């Protein structure tokens, strides 16, 4: 099964991806991970991407698509994959379709959560300054306020997790992603799930739209 997982920051893509790859027995292809791997391995495309990133520039689509294509050609993707973080634009989606003519995408799952819910999730996140463990002031608070349960490290809020920045990030995401949602909707591949429910409910709904029995 070849699946694209879509959702705004705070929608819970990471949580769902972890469970889905285990249930579907397919690799999780997160673009951030494969970019770092390509750069670390010193591949031709990885080096090209690094030159743009080092200069603080956006990596051109053809390089992004090339790195994704290289990863999808590896043996572990033969039985399918879960793509997370790609495509981000319609042009990337079209290029992906062109490169996957012999094994097209089966589903684009969109975790559709309410804007205010997303803002609350993002702005409530706190990170341990020592171990990096993630908490949430409402949904996953530490035993002692402001202190990590594991190592006693101070908890802090990332700059891009404050409420105003969260709203800006979500507005940008919605502007960029709405054409992509329509693209997969028009192709009959889009599956919307209610991302405002609890994570277990989201997971069950995703399995349901994929036609997979919960194990």
Q: What is the pLDDT of residues 40-92, one digit of tens each?
A: 999 999 999 889 888 888 788 889 899 999 999 999 999 999 999 899 889 99
- Computed over every residue of the chain, the mean pLDDT equals 92
Q: How confident is the model at residue 25 (pLDDT cuts 50, 70, 90)?
A: very high
Spot the catalytic one: 40, 103, 158, 204. Answer: 158
The torsion angles phi and psi of 211, rounded to 5 degrees, stand at 70, 30
Neighbours of 116 (CB within 10 A): 11
CA–CA gap between residue 191 and residue 173 (Å, rounded): 18
162-205 tens-digit pLDDT? 999 999 989 988 998 899 999 999 999 999 999 999 999 999 99
Beta partners for 192?
110
As for how many domains the chain has, the answer is 1
Do the domain assignments include residue 139?
no
CA–CA gap between residue 6 and residue 190 (Å, rounded): 10
Spot the catalytic one: 2, 88, 133, 192. Answer: 88
Q: In the predicted model, what is the mean pLDDT of residues 92-100?
A: 92
Which residues are CB-contacts of 121 (< 8 A; sequence separation ≥ 6)?
10, 12, 113, 136, 139
Is 158 noted as a catalytic residue in this protein?
yes
Do the domain assignments include residue 113?
yes
Range of the domain at 200: 2-26+79-127+154-210
Spot the catalytic one: 13, 71, 126, 191. Answer: 13
* pLDDT the model gives residue 213: 84
* Segments in the chain forming alpha helices (H): 13-24, 31-41, 44-54, 61-72, 90-99, 115-123, 163-186, 199-210
Share of the chain above pLDDT 70, in %: 100
CA–CA gap between residue 157 and residue 142 (Å, rounded): 14
Do the domain assignments include residue 40?
no
Do the domain assignments include residue 167?
yes
Instruction: Report the CATH number at residue 99.
Output: 3.40.50.300
107-116 tens-digit pLDDT? 999 999 999 9
Is 13 noted as a catalytic residue in this protein?
yes
Spot the catalytic one: 48, 71, 121, 125. Answer: 125
Do the domain assignments include residue 44?
no
Do the domain assignments include residue 64?
no
Do the domain assignments include residue 175?
yes
pTM of the model: 0.86
């Amino acid at each position: 099964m070849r699946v694209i997982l879509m959702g705004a920051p705070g929608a819970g893509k990471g949580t769902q991806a972890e469970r889905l790859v285990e249930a579907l027995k397919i690799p999780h292809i997160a673009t951030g991970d494969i970019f770092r791997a390509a750069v670390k391995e010193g591949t031709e495309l990885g080096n090209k991407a690094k030159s743009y990133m080092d200069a603080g520039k956006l990596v051109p689509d053809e390089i992004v698509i090339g790195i994704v294509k290289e990863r999808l050609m590896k043996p572990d993707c033969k039985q399918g994959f879960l793509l997370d973080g790609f495509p981000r634009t319609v042009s990337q989606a079209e290029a992906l379709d062109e490169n996957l003519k012999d094994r097209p995408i089966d589903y684009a799952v969109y975790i559709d959560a309410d804007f205010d819910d997303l803002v609350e999730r993002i702005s409530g996140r706190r990170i341990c300054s020592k171990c990096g463990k993630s908490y949430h002031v409402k949904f996953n608070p530490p035993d002692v306020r402001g202190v990590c349960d594991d190592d006693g490290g101070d908890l802090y809020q990332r700059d891009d997790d404050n409420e105003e920045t969260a709203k800006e990030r979500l507005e940008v995401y919605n502007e960029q992603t709405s054409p992509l949602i329509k693209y997969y909707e028009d192709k009959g591949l889009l599956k919307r799930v209610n991302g405002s429910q609890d994570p277990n409910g989201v997971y069950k709904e995703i399995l349901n739209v994929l036609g997979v029995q919960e194990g």
